[in-house]
Chain A
Amino acid sequence: MADSEPRRGVGHRWLWPTLALPGTIWLLVIFVVPLYVVLAILFGGVDPILRQPVPVWDPRSWDFTQFDFVMGRIFGSDAYFRPALIRTVLYVAAASFLCLLIAYPVAYFTARFAGRWKGVLLAALIAPFWISYMMRMLAWVNLLQTNGLVNKTLSAGGLFDVHVAWLQGHGTTVVLGLVYGYVPYMILPLFAGLDRAPVSMLEAARDLGASRWETFRRVTWPLSRSAVVVSLLLTTLPMLGDYFTNDLLSGSPSTSMIGNLINNSVLTPGQTGQAGAFVLIILVVSVLPMFFYVRSTRYGDEVAS
């Protein structure tokens, strides 16, 4: 008691809360207040001429017309929002899967086999992280044009006549764009996770006669599972709100995702409240994996300590 007393003195009791409070209050205010504004607009009215949103602050007089409208277009008989939502799930799932398919071997190789090239390789892997996302997309917009380098390369100097309209609203182009954009965000946490896995366990597995595949399946993969979960969350959730990749690489309604629905409605007179409804949908959909994430980080913390 005597030796712990000074450390738990008055100083400490106010010091930590004082340090933590500004950030906590900031997060609280800038989460809660805007969320309430979203509700006030979603359940609010519309100015009769300009059809700009008129927020209603009193929950007792909230009007559910806009919310009902959106829900009716998702679940009702006239469900024209539904295809875009399904497409979002499909695109994001496909892109996340492809990201993992690329990121895992790359991160694994870098962590385990790169040897003295590790530093250089890591720097190169991190490089896209420092290059503006828009610049990387713009680069692809140029390459994928009908008279761009991709088609020129494919036509092998005039040998074939290639006129693929890559940018003409193709789901595959959008998915590949998402993969290209988000892979770096997946490689880094995966690398960190795989780099931490103890080599001794792998060696032990090998010494005990496990094959390469079995070592991977029984040792490496289980050890990296939490890193995989984290890296999937870090890429999948941002993809859910992405609309610009789609805009730049497709520009066709046939590839609309929920981000496009939001972006189309948020500045359209009379539809602003609907953007609020979509935002709530994204919020709910993200909350579930988030709890998964919280659990996995707790798990990660335990492993780390």
Chain B
Amino acid sequence: MSSPLSWWRNPWRRPWILGVVTVGYLAWSLLPVLVAVLFSFNAGRSRVTWQGFSMRWYYGDPLRSVWHDSSLHTALTHTLWLGVLATAITIPLGVAMALGLDRWRGRVPAGANLAVLVSFVLPEILMAVSLLFVATVLVTPLQLGTSGQVIGLVTYQLSYPVVIVRARLLTIGRDYEEAAVDLGASPFGAVWRVLLKMLFPAIFASAVLVFADVIDDFIIVRYLSGDSSTEPVSVKVYNTARAAPTPALNALTTLLLVASLVAVTVGFLAYRWFTRGEKGATLDVFAGEA
């Protein structure tokens, strides 16, 4: 009855190999990070040998802890600041663009559509190098430092809200908006009151995505960084990992991890709240760039 052969022939058996692969993958992907987090609490200077628990690298060490080494906490605040700035510019720009491109027919929007897709998949180093050249040979508002970084990040991230919001627009359709206009709303009012409200989950999801992606960015922010005050965590990690890293670096990245987890949790809860009572609203939006 339950011989191996009949088990094998049962088309509805659970594919345990896939389960093992999945669990193995999760272990492989998360364990190294957990080890890195663990070593941020190392009492010694080694990032390889455990020497006891301490908060030394967070605030204990008077010179090299994240709290006391201004270059480290500057990196953290600059990262978050870039995340906020870039998200605040990208989202309105992208949502408006998504709405416009969805409804506006013609040659121009078709070209713009293509540009969005291009910026979606183009290797980042391309944009980073070309913007670096702009910053070094031209006198424009785009300068090495925060301005250049934000402009580069917004350009690189713009496609996220456009793609996500348009996907959502596709499922909403035009009925609500047309009903609003029929009921006497101005076209702008229909967009503002009806459409935008319905798009909120998608907007929120893209904001969280953009924020998370920005604070993880490396190539653009590195090439466009100016002096040390505009070097975010990723650049700091890269520079220091090539020199003499201490567990303070692990502490720094752990703090960034906490910050982004907080952002994600808030985003997720807000998303759930906005979509409450709506069936079919799943996490897909977060994964839904495809």
Contact = CB atoms under 8 A, between A and B. Distances in A.
Interface of A: 6-7, 9, 11-12, 15-24, 26-28, 30-31, 33-35, 37-38, 40-41, 53, 55, 102, 105-106, 108-110, 113, 119, 121-143, 145, 147-149, 180, 183-184, 188-193, 195, 206, 211-212, 227, 230-231, 233-234, 237-238, 240-244, 247-248, 251, 259, 262, 266, 272, 275-276, 279, 282-283, 286, 289-290, 293-294, 297, 300-301, 304-305
Nearest to B233: A132
B62 interface: no
Given A34-B133, A34-B134, A259-B125, A189 B290 contact: yes
B25 A131 contact: no
A28 B18 contact: no
Contacts of A17: 100, 104, 108
B129 A142 contact: no
Q: How large is the interface on B (under 10, 10 to 19, 20 to 34, 35 or more residues)?
A: 35 or more
B69 interface: no
B26 A124 contact: yes
Contact of B290 (A127, A227, A244, A289): A227
Shortest Cβ-Cβ A-B pairs, 10 listed: A20-B100, A23-B97, A241-B125, A241-B123, A34-B130, A19-B100, A189-B290, A11-B187, A16-B104, A135-B253
Interface in B103-137: 103-104, 108-109, 112, 114-119, 121-127, 129-134, 136-137
B85 to A, nearest CB: 15
Interface string B238-273: 100110010001100100110011001000000000
Given A26-B155, A234-B121, A241-B124, A189 B131 contact: no
Nearest to A193: B290
B105 to A, nearest CB: 9
B237 interface: yes
Contacts of A234: 121, 289
Contacts of B137: 37, 40-41, 53, 55
Given A102-B21, A113-B14, A135-B33, A22 B286 contact: no
22 contacts: A11-B186, A16-B103, A22-B96, A23-B158, A27-B155, A30-B152, A33-B134, A34-B133, A55-B133, A55-B137, A123-B283, A132-B257, A133-B216, A136-B33, A138-B237, A138-B249, A184-B29, A266-B132, A286-B122, A293-B117, A294-B117, A305-B170
Contacts of B151: 30
A109 B96 contact: no
A22 B93 contact: yes
A110 to B, nearest CB: 7
A41 B133 contact: yes
A138 B253 contact: yes
A195 B28 CA distance: 24
A145 B36 CA distance: 13
A134 B233 contact: yes
Given A138-B241, A206-B11, A231 B290 contact: yes
Contacts of B96: 19-20, 22-23
A211 B15 CA distance: 13
Contact of B11 (A127, A212, A294): A212
Contacts of B201: none
A133 B234 contact: yes
B52 interface: no
A140 B32 CA distance: 7
Interface in B12-37: 12, 14-15, 17-19, 21-22, 25-26, 28-30, 32-33, 35-36
Question: Which of B121, B134, B182: most chain A CB closer than 10 A?
Answer: B121
Contact of A279 (B129, B158, B186): B129
A233 B120 CA distance: 10
Contacts of B127: 34
A126 B287 contact: yes
Contacts of B126: 241, 279, 282-283, 286
A232 B104 CA distance: 31
